[in-house]
Structure 1
């Protein structure tokens, strides 16, 4: 039998051992953290690139501003202070130099792959064109290109016209009751339209005059990407299981996937995206799982970005009466009625194109950086060598608001995009709202066509005013993957012709 003193001594030894072990862990953690900071500041291969010291030492400042939804603003401030190239994290460089578009995103033998930390897994686990590796992306893009060709766009015009008319008719009813939130109605129209073009069924937003449950869940999905990305930086990817869609959101995603299956099984009388995909599919094409996730992903990417762009265009032109009047004059001079507005008829409207370009510069639907990883052997970017493994990217918002790229960058001035304009010096090569290179936005032609058609029809049928001054409507918005937009209340009056 052991005596009480022997047991007490044994317990003391255990406690002493535990305390020693905990102290050793603490000391090791402090030493590791200190050595990490010292290495990042004095010995890291990126130490010669300019940037704030705290951002170079740790990812904490980057994650903080990302979480607050203000990273785009902070990056702009850093670029204004430090120049076109800024070290914004221990292993990341941010660029606003127009040459960096080609250096990072263009076609090259050793393509810079997407940063795996930035990827959000698809609901089924199959790769879609947004996150696919190079080989899979090439195969999928070859097939999807049929759905986004110029000839396909012309065949899809009846769908565009159908939803443009439905939007205008619903606005005619709503405007008689008072001011209209155009962010909501443009979102309804964009999601219904792209839903129909993606898999033959719309979400019913325009008919119901409210957000469908799936559409409402999109903001949560974007926030999930933001939080998941930060968790991966700190090795906490395990919490992703708590961030993945559950309950109602999982149900909404499942419903969307069932819609795709139904479309594939039953066919459609419309020339939607799946029509072209299925028609061209072959042994080297896409699996059923890949078709599902691509239709699902395109319906999100194509709708949210277009609704955001149109909301920004409306706000900016209504906040600048001379621009609004000149744009209205150009559109109405070319169209006696809204029925005259077609994809072809809007191509010659040079001032409208200038307005759209300037709005995409001031308020880019993609305001973030699309990060890439420098491949083995390193690469020359914007005139300087960057070592392999570095995360690099051009930040859209900072690039478009950089005084080095655009004179008076905060001024909304569509005339800077006109051929005869000499009043503002601008570097047009800096503006790449649909990204650049082999992974640029596949649907950019459809997006521009939708913007032209809807904007022209809206300005032909209605006279517009902002319900109230919306000072800071853009500046006060946060970015959580997508812009977190506030309401945009407008008064609409049908024209008397």
Structure 2
């Protein structure tokens, strides 16, 4: 298939020239076209994404995730203290649900806090403080411009983008101002006791050449990782919340799995027990299939002399690619592709049918091949940990005011009420879902 031909076969495809539109001051692993340079950068960054770095980050990760849960149920606890006695059990249970939360916003804050801590040991605490929340809005607004010039570089070449996207230009400048502060804070903080990614990249060497990153490259790679990592993880988390809140059977099974696996919230940590939650992982995978954080075509330039893609010859110099959203919804690969069905991922790959093998081969929310997302491991650890803690500590349900799904009667593609609606701006822009939370109710055992 085209996915294998373009991204996996080892052909000398380069990233499209259009990615130059995303370069600010220095190229990074996302935008660099040269394969040798990309390989060098990737080998250095992978050292910073080691198991030891993740283990050092884990206590801070769970602290942030629990802070997120505290915010989700904070008003519930406050209101519960003020309730009058004498109400029926059912009425009291209903009142424990808090006011609705916009999960696109809260997942943005959670993901940014996680990535800023992992990469810079930064404590901007968007979950509890509004001071820096404008940053995630700046990223989303700036992406509208960048996604347009990625498709039409002429807009930037003739400065037309400044006319078409004035708000995005302002947002970009505000974000760059924040980046300056972030780097100043990072340099002045005591870094002797922390093993964050920025510190690791400052000392890591390419095992093949013996060279490390220049200061400019460290900044470019670190900022790209925190922005891309936070944005995509936030979208994935919001999608998981959306689909679990609308699919009660999947929600109940995932919650039961987590609550029977762990004895306490403190018991939740990376390792064999968390990895044993296969249905939770299936729920995560299915949400990313349905609503991938990056759904567009990751364009590649056909090498000189041309190449055969999915049986067709394509001349050299053309841009080709496979849209992630499209292949994730191909009916001959995924049965009932617009139905959220985590059970499809509970089938073992080993010895599976061709249909199952094709399903796994086509699944690529992090892309595939030598230029796939290097942060995949970090993202999956964060998502598994987040939803294990959430399902252990809380219950949640869709709010009456939620409109994050499609609307019957809308234009094709926006008409499915059961599908989380995203907008493609390089990464996916989102709104909602609106959910209500309450502390998990543990029913006493029957004597």
- Normalised-by-shorter TM-score class: 0.7 to 0.9
Is 2:362 aligned against 1:430? yes
Aligned partner of 1:484 in structure 2 is 429
State the Cα distance separating 1:226 from its structure 2 match: 1.9
State the Cα distance separating 1:174 from its structure 2 match: 3.9
Report 1:143-162 matches (<5 A): 143-162=44-63
Aligned partner of 1:275 in structure 2 is 199
State the Cα distance separating 1:175 from its structure 2 match: 4.2
User: Number of matched residues?
Assistant: 397
Aligned partner of 1:228 in structure 2 is 149
Aligned partner of 1:364 in structure 2 is 292
Distance 1:186 1:192, change over 3 A: same
State the Cα distance separating 1:336 from its structure 2 match: 1.9
Distance 1:112 1:459, change over 3 A: same
Report 1:335-350 matches (<5 A): 335-344=262-271, 345-350=273-278
State the Cα distance separating 1:420 from its structure 2 match: 6.4
In the aligned structure 1, how far is the partner of 2:185 from the partner of 2:146? 28
Aligned partner of 1:132 in structure 2 is 32
Aligned partner of 2:257 in structure 1 is 330
- Structure 1: stretches of 5+ with no match in the other structure: 1-98
Q: CA offsets, 1:266-322, max 9 Å, x none?
A: 442332111211121476221111111111111111011111111111110110111
Report 1:73-472 matches (<5 A): 99-106=1-8, 108=10, 110-123=11-24, 125-133=25-33, 134-176=35-77, 178-208=99-129, 212-232=133-153, 237-240=158-161, 246-247=169-170, 249-264=172-187, 266-268=189-191, 269-281=193-205, 284-344=211-271, 345-419=273-347, 426=356, 427-468=359-400, 470=403, 471-472=405-406
The structure having more radius of gyration, on CA atoms, is 1
State the Cα distance separating 1:222 from its structure 2 match: 0.9
TM-score (norm 2): 0.82
Would you say the 8 A contact 2:61–2:382 is kept in 1? yes
Distance 1:153 1:476, change over 3 A: closer
Bigger mean CA offset, 222-231 vs 125-134? 222-231
State the Cα distance separating 1:261 from its structure 2 match: 4.2
Bigger mean CA offset, 444-453 vs 165-174? 165-174
Distance 1:420 1:285, change over 3 A: closer
In the aligned structure 2, how far is the partner of 1:397 from the partner of 1:373? 20
State the Cα distance separating 1:147 from its structure 2 match: 1.3
In the aligned structure 2, how far is the partner of 1:415 from the partner of 1:309? 19
Distance 1:144 1:466, change over 3 A: same
State the Cα distance separating 1:265 from its structure 2 match: 5.1
In the aligned structure 1, how far is the partner of 2:374 from the partner of 2:353? 33
Two-structure CA RMSD over aligned residues (Å): 2.5
Would you say the 8 A contact 1:257–1:292 is kept in 2? no
Distance 1:235 1:220, change over 3 A: closer
Distance 1:423 1:337, change over 3 A: farther
State the Cα distance separating 1:239 from its structure 2 match: 2.4
Bigger mean CA offset, 316-325 vs 467-476? 467-476
Distance 1:262 1:235, change over 3 A: closer
In the aligned structure 1, how far is the partner of 2:53 from the partner of 2:74? 33
In the aligned structure 1, how far is the partner of 2:304 from the partner of 2:395? 57
In the aligned structure 2, how far is the partner of 1:483 from the partner of 1:356? 17
Runs of 4+ in 1 over 6 A off after TM superposition: 420-424
State the Cα distance separating 1:100 from its structure 2 match: 2.0
Q: CA offsets, 1:10-52, max 9 Å, x none?
A: xxxxxxxxxxxxxxxxxxxxxxxxxxxxxxxxxxxxxxxxxxx
State the Cα distance separating 1:362 from its structure 2 match: 0.5
Would you say the 8 A contact 2:22–2:146 is kept in 1? no
Would you say the 8 A contact 1:435–1:441 is kept in 2? yes
